[in-house]
């Protein structure tokens, strides 16, 4: 049997997270997040010396590229990884521009910009489109650092790009960021392609041995919700990309000092586990009673929150209405590749004006509005404060930058006091402002990840620490779903695959065509259905037929209760 990669393992620290109180949920998430800095088992997390050395060398290469008018730093990934690529490119281009430099950072996301805030997982499976997008973007470039991010060392989209760069090493310096040891890179056939991710990584290792490529893969342990790479892996991706970029622009910065700043931001956030617990409680009550959670923020805060919300549909089988984010200025503030997408459907209505027009009139007492940062309070109209919903305010507080007290009334105000001491040594104000912004954003990422994860746990969408209502929307998630079904039965992989297919095709007897169809064909059918995995879990544990399983799910909509009862 194939070894499970670390990013797909169940984290023992969170095994009982489904039975924890809201405050305990925050404590468990803290313990898991600390593995980013302290490592997992024998590993050292982001403090691994080998990783720090590689960051040092790579930052040097990036600084050369930044100076070159035909140079580019391209960051690419799928889902959260692509979204964080977008945020990083946006932040550092703004910074370079403010200093009169070239805006040489670029991002690519599988599924293009529509995937920035909505889930389009199937696009992750296409290595050919991945390579094509990169080739298009870099047509006139002569020196490119390409950074492919795939937390699980698995995304075919990124594999296609890495493979392309490996055959153009005269122009490209390929970099792979992920959080598994290289021998755990995915070794499954990629549809319509002749290599596996693992084979591409083997080539990359050869290039690395001759100093032509880099693999940055600190081991940070399994996710608190098994496989949910938007959490620790997403945060670590941010930290690595930001440290690399900061170090490339300001060579005097110390990598270890920068890591310590992120670590101290993490401790600062989790000093507030009581408040985080109360916030999770409020959000959980909203979702459980059929209400919604809306995040509002300016700039990076709004974008960070939208990224958080966008992962709830694939992870928890949530509807896009359940949790949504809105950013001041909407697309005009985004600086994204494809410009304004707001005409493409309700998912792409992302401005505060859209929120005030489409949502505020129907806000109910079961809804929760989360204001992120002080600035947003000056951007929204009074009507939000008289709506019958609940309101939470989250902001950051630096001892020398005390927020002005607001007269608004909130159900909860969470003002994080961040540690300013380490910033004091920086002698450039723009740099200080940039690092402050990055630390605030990562802090708010921890907060919103707590909120959305905790709320879905309270809604019953997590059993032990498994996402039992994951959407079967790409190859990786298909195989993860089979693993989850197997976890709740004593059946073989083959038997669980057959049961998952029965649930997907809604039949007790699969036709020969259904059985032999490709994984992509299964995904196309599964993507537009609800409760595919829960139905399969019930069938696997009770040996019942599809309609009986669906009846049971109707009678007990709190999934966790049903699955626990079955397991016991
Ligand atoms: O397939 C969906 C997803 O699991 C997202 O949740 C995640 O952000 C994305 O894949 C990227 O995964 P990776 O970084 O491992 O390629």
DSSP class of residue 558 equals -
Residue 1 has pLDDT above 80, yes or no: no
CB proximity list for 496: less than 8 A, separation 6 or greater: 482, 485, 486, 489, 536, 540
Phi and psi torsions of 121, nearest 5°: -65, -25
Express as a percent the part of the chain with pLDDT over 70.
99
Of ligand 1's listed atoms, the one at least distance from the Cα of 80 is 8
What 8-state DSSP symbol labels residue 162?
H
CA of 157, closest atom in ligand 1: 16
CA atoms within 13 A on the CB side of 177: 30
Contact in structure between 392 and 368 (CB atoms under 8 Å): yes
Pocket of ligand 1 (CB under 6 A): 77-81, 121, 124, 149-152, 154-155, 229-230, 311, 314, 474, 476-477
477 CA: nearest ligand 1 atom: 1
Q: Is the pLDDT of residue 401 over 90?
A: no
> What pLDDT shows up at residue 184?
98
374-382: list long-range contacts, CB under 8 Å, 24+ apart.
Answer: 374/403, 374/404, 374/406, 375/298, 375/299, 375/301, 375/328, 376/296, 376/297, 376/298, 376/301, 376/302, 376/328, 376/352, 377/406, 377/408, 379/298, 379/328, 379/352, 380/296, 380/352, 380/356, 381/356
- Residue 408 DSSP class: -
The C-alpha atoms of residue 355 and residue 357 are separated, in whole angstroms, by: 6
How many angstroms separate the alpha carbon of residue 416 from the centre of ligand 1? Answer: 29
Give residue 564 CA to ligand 1 midpoint distance, Å: 27
| Atom number, ligand 1, closest to the C-alpha of residue 81 | 14
pTM: 0.96
CA of 79 from ligand 1 middle (Å) equals 5
Whole-angstrom distance, CA of residue 505 vs CA of residue 508? 9
Residue ranges of alpha helices (H) inside 39-114 are 49-67, 80-98
Distance 229 CA to ligand 1 centre (A): 6
Ligand 1 atom at minimal distance to the Cα of residue 315: 6
Angular region, 250: left φ>0, alpha ψ -120 to 50, beta rest? beta
Summarize pLDDT for 151-208 with one digit per residue, the tens: 999 999 999 999 999 999 999 999 999 999 999 999 999 988 999 999 999 999 999 9
Q: Ligand 1 centre and the CA of 191: distance in Å?
A: 18
Per-residue pLDDT reduced to its tens digit, 170-186:
999 999 999 999 999 99
Taking the C-alpha atoms of residue 121 and residue 407, their distance in angstroms, rounded to an integer, is 43
Which pLDDT score, from 0 to 100, does residue 562 have?
87
Task: Report the C-alpha gap between 276 and 38 in whole angstroms.
Answer: 23
Task: Reply yes or no on whether the pLDDT at 376 is more than 70.
Answer: yes
Q: What ipTM is given for this predicted complex?
A: 0.97
Distance 431 CA to ligand 1 centre (A): 31
């Amino acid at each position: 049997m194939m070894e499970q990669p670390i990013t797909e393992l169940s984290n023992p620290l969170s095994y009982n997270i489904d039975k924890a109180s809201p405050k305990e949920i925050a404590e468990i998430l803290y313990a898991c997040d600390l593995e980013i800095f302290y490592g997992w088992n024998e590993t050292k997390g982001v403090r691994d010396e080998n990783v720090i050395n590689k960051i040092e060398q790579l930052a040097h290469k990036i600084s050369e590229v930044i100076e070159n008018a035909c140079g580019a730093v391209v960051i690419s990934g799928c889902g959260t990884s692509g979204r964080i690529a977008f945020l990083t490119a946006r932040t550092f281009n703004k910074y370079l521009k403010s200093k009169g430099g070239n805006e040489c950072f670029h991002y690519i996301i599988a599924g293009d910009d529509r995937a920035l805030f909505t889930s389009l997982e199937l696009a992750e499976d296409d290595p050919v489109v991945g390579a094509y997008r990169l080739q298009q973007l870099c047509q006139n470039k002569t020196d490119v650092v390409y950074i492919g991010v795939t937390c699980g060392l698995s995304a075919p989209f990124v594999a296609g790009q890495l493979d392309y760069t490996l055959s153009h090493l005269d122009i490209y310096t390929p970099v792979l960021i992920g959080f598994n040891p290289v021998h755990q890179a995915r070794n499954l056939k990629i549809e319509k392609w002749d290599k596996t991710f693992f084979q591409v990584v083997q080539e990359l290792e050869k290039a690395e041995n001759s100093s032509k490529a880099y693999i940055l893969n600190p081991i940070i342990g399994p996710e608190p919700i098994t496989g949910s790479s938007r959490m620790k892996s997403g945060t670590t991706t941010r930290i690595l990309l930001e440290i690399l970029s900061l170090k490339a622009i300001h060579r005097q910065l110390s990598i270890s000092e920068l890591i310590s700043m992120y670590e101290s931001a993490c401790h600062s956030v989790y000093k507030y586990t009581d408040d985080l617990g109360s916030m999770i409680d409020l959000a959980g009550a909203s979702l459980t009673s059929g209400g919604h959670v809306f995040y509002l923020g300016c700039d990076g805060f709004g974008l960070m929150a939208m990224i958080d919300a966008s992962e709830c549909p694939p992870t928890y089988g949530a509807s896009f209405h359940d949790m949504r984010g809105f950013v001041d200025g909407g697309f005009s503030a985004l600086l994204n590749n494809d410009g304004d997408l707001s005409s493409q459907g309700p998912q792409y209505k992302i401005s505060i004006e859209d929120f005030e027009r489409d949502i505020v009139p129907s806000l109910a007492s079961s809804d929760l509005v989360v204001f992120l940062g002080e600035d947003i309070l000056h951007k929204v109209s009074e009507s939000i404060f008289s709506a019958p919903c609940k309101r939470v305010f989250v902001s950051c507080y630096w001892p020398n930058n005390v927020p002005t007290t607001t007269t608004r009334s909130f159900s909860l105000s969470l003002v994080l006091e961040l540690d300013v001491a380490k910033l004091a040594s920086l002698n450039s104000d723009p740099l200080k402002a940039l690092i402050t912004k990055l630390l605030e954003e990562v802090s708010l990422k921890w907060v919103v990840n707590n909120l959305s994860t905790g709320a879905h746990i309270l809604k019953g969408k997590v059993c032990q620490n498994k996402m039992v209502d994951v959407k079967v929307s790409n190859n990786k998630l298909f195989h993860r779903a089979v693993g989850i079904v197997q976890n709740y039965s004593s059946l073989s992989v083959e038997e669980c695959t057959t049961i998952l297919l029965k649930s997907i095709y809604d039949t007790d007897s699969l036709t020969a065509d259904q059985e032999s169809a490709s994984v992509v064909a299964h995904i196309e059918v599964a993507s537009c259905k609800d409760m595919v995995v829960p139905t399969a879990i019930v069938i696997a544990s009770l040996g019942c037929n599809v309609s009986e399983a669906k009846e049971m799910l109707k009678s007990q909509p709190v999934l966790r209760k049903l699955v626990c009862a079955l397991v016991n």
